Chain A
Amino acid sequence: MALVRWIDANIEKIIIIISYFTMAAIIFVEVIRRFAFNQQEPWSSTIPILLFLWVTWIGAAYNVKIRTHLSFDELRMRLPYNAQFCCLVLDAFLWLLFACIVLYFSIQQVQLSHDNFAIVTGTDDIMQWWFYMATPVAWGLLCVRVLQNLRSDYLKWRSSKPFSISVSMLGE
């Protein structure tokens, strides 16, 4: 249980930090190698982009979790309490709706790439679908975060506590 809670708290961080760092490190090291030794790995221009896609979509889930996606919240802040709750439910519904569409079609894409044994350009044995998994995995995680937020909003609403509507895009 403690493990589940730890994963729940840190899953986005782990994936983002590892992918981000690896991506930056590959580019930095490869530029230096090209300058100093005239060598460069052929995959150094493909793998980083695929890591970037992991950062992007897991980052999107993280921003749902900490409620920092860009939005125009001036009107919502001034709405009555119950209307605010309705807006939050609406957000959750729309996220889930869009997520269903993305999940359905991105899983197809992963399957296609899996069935075709598509390989990342510049490598011999790295399968493309490992990276294509970014979209469905991240959007699945995003759904979990949406539901968690919805639950916490519902509990707040039940006990009439104020919602956190206006959050700066920079978090905290």
Chain B
Amino acid sequence: MDTFLIVMVSLGVTGLFLLGVPIFLVIGLWVVGISLVIDFTLANIGVTLFEGLNFFGLLALPLFILTGDLINNAGIAKRLSDFAFSILGWMRGGLGMASLGACGLFAAISGSNSATTATIGSIMYPEMRENGYDKNFAAATIAAGGTVGIIIPPSIIFIVYGFLLNLSISDLFIGGLLPGLLMVLAMQFTCWYVARKNGWGHLIRFDVARVARNALGAWLGFFAILLVIWGIYSGKFSPTEAAGVTAGFCLVVGLIMYPLNKMLGDVQENESQGKQFARALVVKGFRVQDLPDLIMRSGQITGLLAPLIAVSVVMQQILSLLGANVFVTELLANLGGYYPILFACMLIVLIAGTVLESLPNTIILAPILAPIAAGIGVDPIHFAVIFLVGDAIGFITPPYGLNLYVASGITGIPYFQLLRYIVPYLVALLAVWVVIILIPDFSTILLTQDGAGVYQHAK
């Protein structure tokens, strides 16, 4: 009888999801429904919505979101995009590839995929349009590029994963570095291939001076990236502290840069070399009075994501009460060997990712699947990377692909129209995923180096 009721509740909330009820409520109501069915106290909801988030490591989430907004508003994200274009502009599809590269660079400072898509998308989409790219493909490119936002460290989702499974968040960050780069390269290759076939884009000559000038212009971006990576890799900061330091650095820089930029004035022809040099070093920055709006943007995104985390934690508790862990473990145990079980896990992550947002997906599934993977001898960091790359792919899979929504929101292209153009990127990312699974070294090699400062990772 219980099983019947549980199925009914689950079908009921799925119906609500399809009707467009907010996902937070869908999960929340499922929890309420199941708690009533199995006669479990509802008091748990009130407590966990608060205590589920009461964890220092999770603070990196709002801080990295804030960093992303600071980087964007200070004009540093634009400089990173320009730099990527100066390197790749000579190739067919170079602007698209530069957008993907810029996503990777931005992802190395910020921790969120939707922020990556939104920031780089609003900079690069107009440029790709001007440059003769098909508008649907351009929008699909930025949607796909955003997926690396959660794989290249720092990443919100790695923080949540580490928080759930008691893994070192720094180790997870380092584990995501190479797979994230691989994803960027694979998507760039796809972009190059599609653009070459269609003859999109105007080429610029490769010019060392231009690259050097743009690299200089993006120095603040590189500094922030190095600060994060050095801090975490050397063990000087916890991820939360790295986030705080980076946010603080970007805030101070942004405020200092504004008056400096004003002093330089408008661009004039025939500027002296010194002035051109100064112009490259100085970014737009922002004023103190711009800060409330900027913080509010981050606050809004935090207010979207953090409640989802809290309610998903409650859902995971109820699932383990229902014995979902045992059920799935037994189900997969029948499959036998290493690869069948691993690929079954991937399939579960991928299918769940088509409807669930990445945070609920991770919180609900990771505690069930990770022990199974550990049981068959998969390195925990390697599995985390596998799991989260699958999660990232879920950002661009219909019916519910968050990045597609964000891209559709910035570009005004209808959601369904994007789907066809996302397919090549989806194929590329799935291929990378398989490679990451087959070659554990991509995820773990940086951790096994001696003297990295991180504790020796047990193989």
Which A residues are closer than 8 A to B by beta carbons?
Answer: 13, 16-17, 20-21, 23-25, 27-32, 45, 48-50, 52-53, 55-63, 66, 68-76, 87, 90-91, 94-95, 97-98, 101-102, 104-106, 108-109, 132, 134-135, 165, 168-171
Contacts and interface: CB of A to CB of B under 8 A. Distances in A.
Interface in B1-56: 16-25, 28-29, 32, 42-43, 45-47, 49-50, 53-56
Contacts of A102: 45-46, 49
A59 B20 contact: no
Contacts of B298: 20
Contacts of A74: 399, 415-416
Contacts of A68: 300, 304
Contacts of A90: 16, 19, 21
A62 B18 contact: no
A71 B23 contact: yes
B304 to A, nearest CB: 6
A94 B114 contact: no
B151 interface: no
Contacts of B18: 72, 75
22 contacts: A25-B248, A28-B245, A32-B248, A49-B56, A49-B58, A52-B53, A55-B306, A58-B299, A59-B299, A60-B304, A70-B308, A76-B19, A87-B19, A90-B21, A95-B25, A101-B42, A101-B45, A106-B49, A108-B43, A135-B46, A135-B49, A165-B20
A106 B43 CA distance: 8
A169 B245 contact: no
A74 B416 CA distance: 9
A140 to B, nearest CB: 14
Counting from the closest, the 6 A-B pairs by CB-CB distance are A59-B303, A105-B46, A168-B409, A27-B244, A28-B248, A76-B20
Given A27-B241, A169-B402, 5 more contacts: A20-B62, A60-B306, A90-B16, A102-B49, A169-B405
Contacts of B21: 71, 87, 90-91, 94
B56 A56 contact: no
B53 A60 contact: no
| Most chain A CB inside 10 Å of its own CB: which residue of B251, B299, B307 | B299
A97 B307 CA distance: 17
B283 to A, nearest CB: 20
Given A59-B300, A60-B303, A62-B299, A71 B22 contact: yes
Contact of A72 (B247, B251, B399): B399
Contacts of B247: 24, 28
A72 B53 contact: no
B171 interface: no
B415 A16 contact: no
Nearest to A62: B303
B53 A98 contact: no
A48 B17 CA distance: 34
Contacts of A57: 49, 303, 307
Contacts of B304: 59-60, 63, 68-70, 169
- Name which of B243, B247, B297, B409 has the most chain A CB atoms within 10 A of its CB: B409
SS class, residues of chain B in contact with chain A: helix
B258 interface: no
A91 B19 CA distance: 10
A13 to B, nearest CB: 6
Contacts of A134: 50
B45 to A, nearest CB: 6
Interface in B400-449: 400, 402, 405-406, 408-410, 415-416
Contacts of A20: 62, 66, 295, 298-299, 302
Nearest to B35: A101
A169 B25 CA distance: 16
B310 interface: yes
A105 B42 contact: yes
Nearest to B246: A28
B260 interface: no
Contacts of A91: 20-22, 25
Contacts of B306: 52, 55-56, 59-60
A50 B301 CA distance: 18
Contacts of A95: 25
B189 interface: no
A101 B62 contact: no
A32 B247 CA distance: 13
Nearest to A67: B22
Nearest to B48: A105
